[in-house]
Amino acid sequence: MAFDLQYTQTFSQRGQLTADANPMSQHTTKHAEIYSAIIIGAGQAGVALSHCLQQRGVTHLVLEKDRPFAEWYDRRWDSFAMNTPNWMNVLPGEQQPFAPQAGRKDFGTLKDAQEYFEAYLRVARPPLRIEEVKSVGVNRDVSWQVTTNRGIYNTDNIAICTGHARHKKIPPMADDVPGHVPQLHSSEYRNPMQIETAHVLVVGSGSSCVQICHELAACDRFDTVYLAGSGNFTLPWSILGISTYSLMRALGVFKITRDSWLGRMMFPRLLKKGDPATPPSPRRLDKNYGVRRFGRVSAANCTEIHCSDGQVIPTQDLSVVWCTGFRASYDFLDVYVRDGVLDKDGVPIHQRGVVAKAPGLYFVGLRFQHTFVSQDICGVGQDAQYVAEQIVARSVGVARGGSGWISPNPAA
């Protein structure tokens, strides 16, 4: 059944949502199942939040369009290595350690990650349904309505955990790359055998780019490996003999919050430039494997790809691997809900994942949602706990007959 609500909604200054519903809404909500909370997405954010809600006795449902932890099955290359050491990879609740047979300071493989998430699923046991959420809107009574490809649900609280990597981000100039040049995104790359040309261009500057470029350069299959990008800062594995991640933990880097002065200074820059990359640095790739380094790709024509440093790359017998990242998107949010919940760039407006303008709407798993590591395995648990507490507090408020709205900012 299609979602057929035509609201004239306004978000009042008190953060209350009001709606003049079309009479059709009575019809569409009639057969809906009702839950205290609904979570969209069963990646680490959604499953961690489900675990936290179960601990607090909140009846909820997790809706996943694909399969739990799909990202770690469908979008990583075969030789993928974790960027974070094993000791950091911990989701909330009792579970086996990440890659138990390896050292705590080692960096796990893709298989380690999959095994860890499978074990976590057995612990967390989320109340899961494989359904794709098509739209999220607001009912006349200010509860939320979720429409999937299979049915309709009503809920007081809705948590969006659909990840920050929903869509591939590829620069528009890729359209000008001639048709004879095979192109693929890092999420489609699996191993060097996929690439049949003599030369390969890897575009990007983050950890994915470095890992893929390293593999392509080391495999001896290609005449030339080009690397084009702005060159992010490379985080060394260790500083003065101490593991960089241990040092960052000791210095409290993982606890820097978005609202602190350091966070306000650092996070916008990181969001714009991307996270520091893991080794080897582009310089090392050049030195050890003869990778040819170029500036950012800026334009393309039938025969050449132009870079910002004035160099050109011939397109003959060339493939391109775009390691240019991802973007989130919330196109399933009803257009009236989107207004006031997302900014002009489509980024959620929130305080620690709580949306002030739309009581009962939450996000978990956003980049820098609260701390430097919010989007990582080690950071998502803290945000999930916080959002779960907000859901409980709101549910108590709703049960007492109020709007259930509580401010995430005690000073507000």
Site residues (vs ligand FAD, CB under 6 A): 40-46, 63-66, 70-71, 82-84, 89, 132-133, 161-163, 165-166, 208, 332, 365, 375-378
113 or 300: CB nearest ligand FAD: 113
Residue 61 · residue 39 · CB < 8 Å: yes
43 or 360: CB nearest ligand FAD: 43
Q: Which residue has the tokens 């989130």?
A: 328
CB of residue 96 to ligand FAD, shortest distance in Å? 17
17 or 210: CB nearest ligand FAD: 210
| CA 407/CA 375 separation, integer angstroms | 23
Written as one letter, the residue type at 297 is V
| CA 321/CA 213 separation, integer angstroms | 9
Q: Which residues contact 57 (CB under 8 A, 6 or more apart)?
A: none
Residue 78 · residue 110 · CB < 8 Å: yes
Report how far apart, in Å, the C-alpha atoms of 1 and of each of 94, 136, 285 are: 40, 14, 54
CB of residue 70 to ligand FAD, shortest distance in Å? 4
| CA 72/CA 78 separation, integer angstroms | 11
CB of residue 154 to ligand FAD, shortest distance in Å? 17
17 or 161: CB nearest ligand FAD: 161
374 or 390: CB nearest ligand FAD: 374
Helix axes 377-399, 44-55, angle to 10 degrees: 50
Is the backbone peptide bond immediately before 127 cis, with ω within 30 degrees of 0?
no
CB of residue 399 to ligand FAD, shortest distance in Å? 28
Nearest C-alpha neighbor of 360 from the set 399, 330, 394: 394
132 or 304: CB nearest ligand FAD: 132
Q: What six digits make up the tokens of 339?
A: 């207004």
Sign (positive/negative) of CA torsion 394, 157, 345, 183? positive
Q: Which residues contact 263 (CB under 8 A, 6 or more apart)?
A: 256, 257, 368, 371, 372
| CA 65/CA 163 separation, integer angstroms | 13
CB of residue 290 to ligand FAD, shortest distance in Å? 25
186 or 395: CB nearest ligand FAD: 186
64 or 334: CB nearest ligand FAD: 64
CB of residue 46 to ligand FAD, shortest distance in Å? 6
Report how far apart, in Å, the C-alpha atoms of 218 and of each of 204, 222, 266, 280 are: 18, 9, 34, 12
11 or 80: CB nearest ligand FAD: 80
CB of residue 42 to ligand FAD, shortest distance in Å? 6
CB of residue 71 to ligand FAD, shortest distance in Å? 3
CB of residue 401 to ligand FAD, shortest distance in Å? 32
